[in-house]
Structure 1
Amino acid sequence: MMKKHMPKILKNYLDYLSTIQERSNSTVEGYKLDLIMLFKFLKNENNIGNDSYIDISDIDEDFIRNIKLEDLYSFMAFTKNHKNNNAFTRARKIASIKSFLKYCQSKIKILDENISLDLETPKLPKKQVAYLSLEQSEKLLKSITGRNKERDFCIITLFLNCGLRLNELCNIKLEDIRDDILVVRGKGDKDRTIYLNESCIIAIKEYVLKRRNVNNTYLFISERGKQICKRSIQIIVKNNIIAAGLNPNKYSTHKLRHTSATLLYKYGKVDIRSLQKILGHENISTTTIYTHVDDEDIRNAIRSNPLNK
């Protein structure tokens, strides 16, 4: 939906998110889509049907003031029963609604109370984080071959050692690397510093020696000398996972990030706060998913009970 077709109050809120709170473009876009869906649902008086032609451009402050808690419950039921949204997607929509109504109450002060404070978030199933074991990680690195093996080895080494997101790795520039320091731009366009270990430094140096001498500021480039795209990196990782005899449906670029975090916590004895900083998590609750232990750890813990004689 073009901004000119959006209600002014929504446009102003999105501008607030991007300029004042400095949220990332993807976050702002997600909030926009969630709130447009809510407004169309409410404008259609909770009728289920094609909402493509529902005009919401005239939604104003009075409309927002008249939203009731039961309207929000009805909307959440609609997203589950008619849009087939899972618990995680519905939780994100609730976060969007809560943020918008908080803005309406505390920033532009058009609401006396924020009804979304009583809107519960659905109970989320605990995610099982898939990751490579130390042995599988070593096997993956040893299996990398081909004419671009230095580049591919460097890509996978950085994923496994630095816990980078796919977008962060794609956007590394040569100038971002200074000795053992790598500066990456993470979510919300926030820079963070990552300290490179010896494996990363060697992998980068060997790749740069083989890298085509082209006028491109990005570290990872395609065979055409252009900045490598995210899809190409996903294919590189998938092909090497297959070559290592691992399941390509189970492991992806993001699973390599999970692997890095898990190995750091398990073998590097990294505390949770340091891990949060390395991964660039805004909330430590996100980082706690990496503090899991595997079944063998549980077995060993039970066996080590002093009463086990």
Structure 2
Amino acid sequence: MKVKQPKILKDFLIYLTTIRGKSMRTRKEYEYDLVLFFRFLKAIQDDLDISDMSRIAIDDINIDWIREISLEDIYLFLEYCEVQRKNSAYSRSRKGATIKSFFKYLKGKRRLLDENPADELENPKIGKKTPIYMNLDESEQFLLGIPRNKHYHRNYCMMMFFLNLGIRVSELCSLNLNSIHGNTLHIIGKGDKERTIFLNKVCLDALETYKKQERNQIMSVQDDDALFLSQKGTRLTRQTVAKIVKFINVNSGLNKHKLTPHKLRHTSATLMYKSGADIRSLQQILGHSSVSTTQIYTHVEDEEIRSVINHNPLNK
């Protein structure tokens, strides 16, 4: 089945053959690599099943979507190619070269980008990838950056939900007051799939404080059902939550590159995995339809691997 390509990809492929004189065979290789790259990023962004990415449409990709791609996203893709697809170093190197060429074209020839995220890309040494999550110390620093304004309790509660429960931003925005039953949270995820997860103590405390100190004090509520409300009493949007995360990131002094609600979800999954959560439990908590998607979150740093070997009881 022929892939319906976004215009920006078509333009690049035409440039390869008409301006740079690449052969049709080379053009096909570039096309294959970039289609796979786009599908992978959409799968991670939307929590789609990466075991069959041929069904993922990419024709809606535009320059605004591409501008959100970071170096860490590229490294995550190359890690996927190595671990999941078992690609050789040569194959990964080719994919990296394709991505570098594509971004160089967008920035240098089309002037569509202010920054090229592939400038510092190393191939195929993906072991030196930029971290794609916050560690525990960074998470604590991030939380300290929540401004002590009139929305402090709301924002603190939302960040606790992200970092402890690993929920999606769309799920957080759609939460209602009746989504909570005692210490459980009922979530309607992608494709209207439902799941229930437990609220730990820090989430329950943050929720109780928010409801008492802020949610119940709002006079002009326009959405009585919504759990998290804006200053005008309306349900928060994904864009607003993303702006709140961005502001906290800067205000904390952390300034993590392109920190988004999805990166907080990734952080939560990583911290749980490092604390001993098994892959199947993580799959249920995160609401993934395929365990192969959950495995993306189970990277272990080289330093930790070295520590495990060093602590072998025979290493005396």
Which of the five TM-score ranges fits, normalised by the shorter chain? 0.5 to 0.7
User: Residue 294 of structure 1 corresponds to which residue in structure 2?
Assistant: 301
Partner AA of 2:204 in structure 1: I
Q: Which has the larger radius of gyration?
A: 1
Cα distance in structure 2, aligned partners of 1:165 and 1:149: 21
Partner AA of 1:275 in structure 2: L
Asked if the contact 1:162–1:260 (Cα under 8 Å) also holds between the matched residues in 2, the reply is yes
Asked if the contact 1:170–1:220 (Cα under 8 Å) also holds between the matched residues in 2, the reply is yes
Q: TM-score, normalised by structure 2?
A: 0.61
Matched, 1:160 2:170: no
Q: How do 1:1-309 and structure 2 match up within 5 A?
A: 36-37=4-5, 80-81=30-31, 85-89=34-38, 95-96=54-55, 130-144=132-146, 145-209=148-212, 210-211=214-215, 212-213=218-219, 214-216=221-223, 217-267=225-275, 269-306=276-313, 308-309=315-316
Q: Percent identity between the aligned chains?
A: 41
Asked if the contact 2:187–2:196 (Cα under 8 Å) also holds between the matched residues in 1, the reply is yes
Asked if the contact 1:76–1:90 (Cα under 8 Å) also holds between the matched residues in 2, the reply is no
From the superposition, tell whether residues 77 and 195 of structure 1 become closer, same or farther in structure 2 (CA, over 3 Å): farther
5+ unaligned residues in a row in structure 1: which ranges? 1-30, 39-46, 50-73, 99-120
Q: TM-score, normalised by structure 1?
A: 0.62
Partner AA of 1:187 in structure 2: K
What do the CA deviations read for 1:123-165 (whole angstroms, capped 9, x no partner)?
A: 5968876111111112222232222110110110100000011
5+ unaligned residues in a row in structure 2: which ranges? 7-12, 16-23, 44-51, 58-84, 93-125
Cα deviation for residue 288 of structure 1 reads 1.2
Cα deviation for residue 277 of structure 1 reads 0.3
Deviates more, 1:249-258 or 1:198-207: 249-258
Does the residue aligned with 2:197 lie in a helix, a strand or coil?
A: strand
Asked if the contact 2:145–2:253 (Cα under 8 Å) also holds between the matched residues in 1, the reply is no
Cα deviation for residue 308 of structure 1 reads 3.9
What do the CA deviations read for 1:226-270 (whole angstroms, capped 9, x no partner)?
A: 111111100101111112211242422111101111111112x21
Does the residue aligned with 1:258 lie in a helix, a strand or coil?
A: helix
Asked if the contact 2:242–2:260 (Cα under 8 Å) also holds between the matched residues in 1, the reply is yes
Asked if the contact 1:218–1:227 (Cα under 8 Å) also holds between the matched residues in 2, the reply is yes
What do the CA deviations read for 1:30-84 (whole angstroms, capped 9, x no partner)?
A: x9xx85559xxxxxxxx979xxxxxxxxxxxxxxxxxxxxxxxx89955944x98
Cα distance in structure 2, aligned partners of 1:201 and 1:143: 21
User: Residue 14 of structure 1 corresponds to which residue in structure 2?
Assistant: none
RMSD value, Cα:
3.4
Asked if the contact 2:166–2:265 (Cα under 8 Å) also holds between the matched residues in 1, the reply is yes
Cα distance in structure 2, aligned partners of 1:75 and 1:168: 44
